[in-house]
A = this chain, B = another copy of it.
Amino acid sequence: MNWLDQVKWDASGLVPVIAQEQGSNDVLMFAWMNREALGKTAELGRAVYFSRSRNKLWFKGEESGHVQTVHEIRLDCDNDVVLLKVTQLGHEPGIACHTGRHSCFFSKLEDGQWSAVEPVLKDPESIYK
Contact = CB atoms under 8 A, between A and B. Distances in A.
Interface of A: 3, 6, 16, 18, 20, 24-27, 29-30, 42, 72-79, 81, 83, 97-99, 101, 104-109, 112-114
A25 B109 CA distance: 18
Contacts of A114: 3, 6, 75
A75 B105 contact: yes
Q: How many copies does the complex hold?
A: 2
Contact of A107 (B30, B75, B104): B75
Contacts of A104: 76-78, 81
Contacts of A107: 74-77, 79
A113 B79 CA distance: 13
